[in-house]
Structure 1
Amino acid sequence: MFILSYWFSRLVAADPGRKRFKTASKATISVITAVVIMLIVLKAAGSSQITAAILAGVIGLMGILVVNDETTKAKKVTTGLVALSSAVSLGIGSFLSRYGQAENVFLVLLVFLSFYLQKFGIRYFSLSMVAFMSFYFASILHVTFSQLPWLLAGVIVGACCAFIYNFVIFKDRPANVLRSSMKSFHIQVNLVLDLIIELIQKKQIEPAQIKQYNRNIKKLAEYARVASEELGNTDPHDIWPGVTAEQMRLYVFDTVMLLQTYSPAIRKLSELKAFNHFDIQQLLLKLVESIREAEVLNENPTHSLTDAAQHLQELRQKLSELEPQDKRYKDWLYLIRRIETISNHVIDEAYELQQAIVKQEKQPQKEVEEKEDEEDNDEEKGLKPSTKKSIQAVITAVATLIFGSFLSPSHQYWALLAGYLVLLGTETIGSTFVKAVQRSVGTLLGAAVGFVVASFVSPGILEITLLFICVFMAFYFFPITYSFMSFWITMMLAFMYDMLLGGISESLLLARVLDTVVGVGIGLAVSALVFPKKTRDKITDTSVEYVAALKEFVHTYLHRFTKQYAFANLADKGMELEKKLKQLHVDSDPIIKGFVGRSRLQQFLTVFTAINYYAKHLVASSTRNQAFYKEAEFHGVVKEVEEKVASNFTQLEKALRGERGTYVYTIEDVRQKIEQSLDYFDTSVQSRNLQHLQLLHNIYYVWKINQSVVHLAKELGAEEISSED
């Protein structure tokens, strides 16, 4: 029963904000509506131009998927221009069809423009993409002027369907997306808490349980990023009156931090037999269960946070009874205190949210000093990335057209399309290789399954239904994995060929697979030989960006100790660091999945992950609102730490770029100065001692970050020196 409940919750939470479901549904329904309307019109007119109905479906699909402008108004304009772009492309295609190679020249030109115009904005890419696909459609069907009127009618029908579903029936409702995102987040939180309860109850934790827990934590971090992004688009006050975006972000951040803290702590507690202490085990169970049952965003919660606060207090009371010096407890008592501290943050943030919802008062947003984006005036030497990519695309297009004409003259554009798509959205040789493999494998499996299924299904309602299911599945899984999309698209094409040609042959599907492999192979070869961007170079760029963001993050954190009215929105900056770390893992994926050099890169990523973990602890610090120190002595210490750590970040950036002569500070001597200045026996300086201890506590994880930075820099050849040098 638990397994069924777990997988049901897993399915519900799998699509934060239901974005994938909404996009796939819109695309599928738009295709169905456009095709049906066009078939009705054709039948009423007594025409047999079924290609017009297919084109209507294609435009209905692309009008949903390629229109990605920032504002709704801009999206509406682009949707109208999609119809114009398609119509012009079809007209040119029908005109050039009589001039042989002129058709191929224009197709190559469209390939160039679709990549080159990306630098001017997403709209130009969308229009070029539609023009390319429309011309591709006209070329493979050898459209003539006599067919053009019905095809133009299909374009209009498809664009109208896309417009209606995008902006009328399924128009964007940011509030609903945020609500769904938070629901998915809470479902995933409860799934992780269920796993934690299992870990606490187990006498011995199995490796499989740890793996399952880590997988769910990764998913939770992804859901937290989605929710944080939606908070940038929607004011939560519109859904939960009284709640600010800042409060919500901090609550989300603290919750993820809590659950990331639980796993290593509980695993260590289990190893040290801490759960043999029955009271500790039961108190932790009660605390976790009460947090799981709390309904934070419910105006009238059936389970309030009172129980969680009460169990937390009971845990504190128990901790106060245990002597840290006692040999039975000293090895694991600090772990319980760590859980208690982070749990306290989550309960406090959740309680603030509940109280804000109950009071329903509009809270003033704190003014955060934002830096104006500095314009990058440094002109990039040589050709710009968009120009390089468009040249790669042109060479790929020409090569695939040549090879395609020899492999399958009747379907020479299949290889071109495969090569075009494998270059789309890839920056490095490694990412192109991964996408090429995914497309080849997806196409091969899709062709095999599609052929088998089509052979058992007669053309009719069932096959049409399966075709539309394939459309939905392709675009539902597209954000997850490209191979899944290729699989479903190839299955859809198998059904389409079966209906249009009255049957499907093995030779046709084999030609489809072969052309795909040749196309992606040529695209990969061109990306490796013409203006190649090495995967490691991209990893270096992303790493430098992460270190720069981390430098600003730590500066903001330390700045609060010397500036009385400094406000630091560390939750937002923490989420930004999380995004950059995610991108670093994505960029590293091609090497991690390979065999050459992955061991050192994995160690490199482990250190960056540890740094990110320490940075989260800074956000979860107990002094997150006001941490100003009045004494000048403290200002000097903090300033010295800030300068040395900032220098280390700069030196690490240089080391990552391969520069020599870099150096880093350990700053351990600064820490020793603070610790040695403590005088526990002089009652006249107790207040000063307390501030020293508080300072040590507040910047403990700054030292942990600096240790990791020093370690990375030394691995890259930097020299370690004392901060006094």
Structure 2
Amino acid sequence: MKQIYLQSYYLRRLLASDPGRKRLNQAGKATISLISAVFASTLLLNMFGHPPLLPSIIAGICGLMGIMIVMDDTKEKKQVTTLLLPLSAAVGVTVGSLLADYVILVSAWMVTIIFCGFYFSRFGSRYFSLGMIGFFTSYFSSFLKLSPDQFPWFYLTILIGVSFAFFYNFVLFKDSVQLLKRSMNSFHRQANLTFQLLIEIIQDTKTSDSRRKKLDYNVRKLREYANNVSTDLNAQDIRELWPGLGTQQLRLYVFDTAMFVMTMSESLQKLKNDDALEMKELRTLLVKVIYTLQQAEVLNPDYREKNLVEAEKVIKSLREMIDNLFKERSSQPEGWLYLVRRVEAIATHVTEGALEIQGSIHKLPSPMETIDEADVEEEKEKDKGMKPTTKKAIQSVIAGTIAVIVGYGISPIQPYWVLLTTFIVQLGTETVGRTYLKGLERSIGTVIGAVLGFGLAKLVSGQLQLEVILLFSFIFLAFYLLPVSYTIMSLFITMLIAFMYDLMLGGITFELLGARVIDTIAGAAIALGVAAVIYPTKTMDKVSQIFTDYLEELESYVTDYVRSFREPSDIKALADRAFQLDAKIQEIEEESKPLLQGPGVRKYSGLPRWITIFTAINYYAKHLVASAYQKNFTYPEEVSDVFLRVEAKFSHNIQVLTTMIEEEEVIGELYDLYPEREQVERHAPGHNDGEGDLVHHLYYVWKINQSLLVLGKRMGLNERK
């Protein structure tokens, strides 16, 4: 984690942004592929004396889509899908052109493609990718009304476009390994940046609100980076980059590092409020712990071992100091002592994990490491009624039919723009709320983009080179900013369309661009209307389902943790599941946006409180793994039966809450765990050398259950002992 960037905070913030440079990598590849396909096709067609503009546009579309729409889960599958794209694109060009004069037939053809794309996606994303490129080539060829003698040139440019996409995706830029390496580098940069802020706050006598907000922001970013890295990890890439290192090993190290930063951030203000940092020795040791971890180059084969050795020494000194303070204040230890103990425990994990990683690098993996169970994950789909893909397919047929009719009513010359918008808004929108939000964002982006695009296109009209440069820039910015803001992406796409109209039609009018704005709003409205009427999935139903999924996963997670005190198990393996819980929380936040930002926000005024409770539960749950790993536990018989009661009561509470969320009625009551906690704290041994601290380990189990009780109280449930 060595800090090698000595520049300003904002420069380091920039260097740490876009973890793994995923957005830059994807948008850059797509843009380069498009540019290469366009220029190669133009050069080739000019050599044969054929008009290059329209075939080159198709080549560019294929080069772009060959990067953006291939979403299979393995490299091999992606390669096969990419090689199949020219066939689907050629069929789209052929059928779209031959049916261009038959309104009903070409409309039925495009609606059929959309239906098949959604319906057959249940068998894999490949079918959806093939459907997308088939739809877009059908759309453009029906608009251009190509003659059969032009087909060979378009087939050739399709091959050129897809060939460049294949080259950039699988030959020049080998995504997987490079992406993992960049992701880890981004994670370390963000960790070091946050470490530096922690050091500055410890050293300051007073913490300003601006610095506190800056720290909170960077802690949240580190959490996002940790989740990004965890999704990029796979055994094959890890062995190629760091021979001998296991997937679970690296994932646990990432988890512990993020938890150390989070725990330090949460603890500092409390320590300052309790005047704990007035103790010079404690302040010095905390700074040294952070600094030594900051200097460690964990994944560098030529690392300097003394940094981690020094970290071990500093942490040992901190542990001894904490033990002495507990002995001195054994009658009534202050609460901040427990916070410092947790910081020390997690810092120990980070250091031990880093040393273990260094000891593993360049060693041959064991047979168990070669086949990493974390990389083989079965997803079991719950078939309750009609499959989501079937629902979406039926919705697409109805919405597509309406869109064609409306499109002809608005603009008989170019009737399919409404259909195009309807199709795009339906992509990735399972619920009514998500459809509404995406349609609104697209409409707003289109309106703003139309005004800016019209003005800019008029300003630079006739300057071909400048127009082409701006056109490619818009493409890059649109896809680079897509994960950040769909509205901004729509803005740049609309500006791109304005420039394409100017190039293809030799000029652009505000009426023409205005018609496209009306088409876009109409398409978004049709997608929303159909989603709300035909097999609707209400946003709150979806959010409730994620809540119950989270609770079910939490039950297994916590009970496995508690069971480990009476049955030997590998607690470190829970780190993988902690990342899954984190992903569920992010999914809840994402799916809740339409409810919190839409017109019905007052109706769901209690939802933010629910999200806060689940976020707190998730924070406590991650601390279970971040606690000192269980070992050397001894406890009297009075404590041994506590674990079974905790498991039973906790499972009962989860089942009651899950049933209430699903059935929306008050059923049963919840157990508190006060008797079990009291029994543990009365009889469990204390924190001594070589002896596990049971009170410390179970602390966050009580906190999780207390949060469940708060949730139950809001739902009208009673508590019982």
TM-score normalized with structure 1 length: 0.91
**2:25 aligns with one of 22, 25, 29:** 22
> Which segment is superposed worse, 544-553 or 342-351?
342-351
The alpha carbon displacement at 1:126 in A equals: 1.0
> Which segment is superposed worse, 629-638 or 564-573?
629-638
**1:616 aligns with one of 600, 614, 622:** 622
Change in CA separation of 1:5 and 1:470 when aligned onto 2, cut-off 3 Å: same
Distance 2:293 2:130 in 1: 50
Counterpart amino acid of 2:65? Answer: M
Distance 1:663 1:571 in 2: 31
Match status 1:340 vs 2:344: yes
Distance 1:136 1:579 in 2: 37
Distance 2:200 2:511 in 1: 54
Aligned to 2:161, the other structure's residue is in SS state helix
Residues 146-182 of structure 1, C-alpha deviations (whole Å, 9 max, x = no match): 332322222222222222222222234x332221111
Change in CA separation of 1:368 and 1:79 when aligned onto 2, cut-off 3 Å: closer
CA contact (8 A) 1:562 1:629 kept: no
**1:107 aligns with one of 85, 105, 110:** 110
Partner residue of 2:707? 708
Partner residue of 1:694? 693
Change in CA separation of 1:208 and 1:590 when aligned onto 2, cut-off 3 Å: farther
Aligned to 1:59, the other structure's residue is in SS state helix
Partner residue of 1:572? 576
Partner residue of 1:11? 14
Partner residue of 2:673? 667
Counterpart amino acid of 2:287? Answer: L
> Which segment is superposed worse, 366-375 or 77-86?
366-375
Distance 1:697 1:520 in 2: 54
Distance 2:274 2:215 in 1: 20
Residues 644-679 of structure 1, C-alpha deviations (whole Å, 9 max, x = no match): 111211122112212542322112112223344469
Change in CA separation of 1:664 and 1:396 when aligned onto 2, cut-off 3 Å: same
> Which segment is superposed worse, 418-427 or 137-146?
137-146
Show the 5 A alignment for 1:512-551.
Answer: 512-551=516-555
CA contact (8 A) 2:100 2:143 kept: no
> Which segment is superposed worse, 68-77 or 87-96?
68-77
CA contact (8 A) 2:668 2:717 kept: yes
Counterpart amino acid of 2:254? Answer: V
The alpha carbon displacement at 1:225 in A equals: 1.3
> Which segment is superposed worse, 528-537 or 157-166?
157-166
> Which segment is superposed worse, 268-277 or 219-228?
268-277
Change in CA separation of 1:96 and 1:589 when aligned onto 2, cut-off 3 Å: same
Distance 1:22 1:627 in 2: 48
The alpha carbon displacement at 1:31 in A equals: 1.0
The alpha carbon displacement at 1:424 in A equals: 0.7
Distance 1:19 1:537 in 2: 32
Counterpart amino acid of 1:97? Answer: A
Change in CA separation of 1:188 and 1:234 when aligned onto 2, cut-off 3 Å: farther
Partner residue of 2:566? 562
CA contact (8 A) 1:556 1:568 kept: no
CA contact (8 A) 2:139 2:416 kept: yes
The alpha carbon displacement at 1:141 in A equals: 1.7
Partner residue of 1:228? 230
Aligned to 1:332, the other structure's residue is in SS state helix
**1:198 aligns with one of 179, 197, 200:** 200
Partner residue of 2:502? 498
Aligned to 2:149, the other structure's residue is in SS state coil
CA contact (8 A) 2:298 2:358 kept: yes
Partner residue of 2:51? 48
Show the 5 A alignment for 1:416-565.
Answer: 416-457=419-460, 458-564=462-568
Partner residue of 2:611? 605
Show the 5 A alignment for 1:31-110.
Answer: 31-110=34-113
CA contact (8 A) 2:457 2:502 kept: yes
Counterpart amino acid of 1:515? Answer: D
Distance 2:513 2:464 in 1: 21
Counterpart amino acid of 1:330? Answer: E
Counterpart amino acid of 2:611? Answer: L
Residues 175-215 of structure 1, C-alpha deviations (whole Å, 9 max, x = no match): 32221111000000011112212322333323333332222
**1:386 aligns with one of 389, 394, 404:** 389
Partner residue of 2:647? 642
Change in CA separation of 1:638 and 1:326 when aligned onto 2, cut-off 3 Å: closer
Partner residue of 1:354? 358
Distance 1:176 1:618 in 2: 32
Change in CA separation of 1:325 and 1:77 when aligned onto 2, cut-off 3 Å: closer
The alpha carbon displacement at 1:111 in A equals: 2.1
The alpha carbon displacement at 1:311 in A equals: 3.1
The alpha carbon displacement at 1:538 in A equals: 0.5
The alpha carbon displacement at 1:702 in A equals: 1.4
Distance 1:690 1:662 in 2: 43
> Which segment is superposed worse, 310-319 or 46-55?
310-319
Change in CA separation of 1:96 and 1:535 when aligned onto 2, cut-off 3 Å: same
Superposition RMSD in Å: 3.1
Change in CA separation of 1:49 and 1:363 when aligned onto 2, cut-off 3 Å: closer
TM-score normalized with structure 2 length: 0.91
Partner residue of 1:585? 589
Residues 275-301 of structure 1, C-alpha deviations (whole Å, 9 max, x = no match): 333443333223322222222222233
Partner residue of 2:257? 255
Distance 2:60 2:654 in 1: 53
Counterpart amino acid of 1:267? Answer: Q
Partner residue of 2:659? 654
CA contact (8 A) 2:277 2:283 kept: yes
CA contact (8 A) 2:41 2:160 kept: yes
5+ residue gaps, structure 2: none
Distance 1:715 1:101 in 2: 55
Distance 2:372 2:700 in 1: 24
Aligned to 2:527, the other structure's residue is in SS state helix
Match status 1:410 vs 2:418: no
Distance 2:331 2:201 in 1: 24
Distance 1:515 1:85 in 2: 27
Distance 1:488 1:290 in 2: 45
CA contact (8 A) 1:243 1:363 kept: no
Aligned to 2:8, the other structure's residue is in SS state helix
CA contact (8 A) 1:244 1:365 kept: no
Change in CA separation of 1:412 and 1:99 when aligned onto 2, cut-off 3 Å: closer
Change in CA separation of 1:461 and 1:370 when aligned onto 2, cut-off 3 Å: closer
Partner residue of 1:683? none
Counterpart amino acid of 1:650? Answer: Q
Distance 1:713 1:10 in 2: 41
CA contact (8 A) 2:234 2:375 kept: no
Residues 217-255 of structure 1, C-alpha deviations (whole Å, 9 max, x = no match): 222111111211222354534322343222211111111
Aligned-residue sequence identity (percent) comes to: 40
Change in CA separation of 1:95 and 1:678 when aligned onto 2, cut-off 3 Å: closer
Match status 1:309 vs 2:312: yes
> Which segment is superposed worse, 450-459 or 493-502?
450-459
CA contact (8 A) 1:655 1:718 kept: no
5+ residue gaps, structure 1: 681-685
Partner residue of 1:286? 288
Counterpart amino acid of 1:668? Answer: Y
Show the 5 A alignment for 1:175-214.
Answer: 175-214=177-216
Show the 5 A alignment for 1:110-121.
Answer: 110-121=113-124
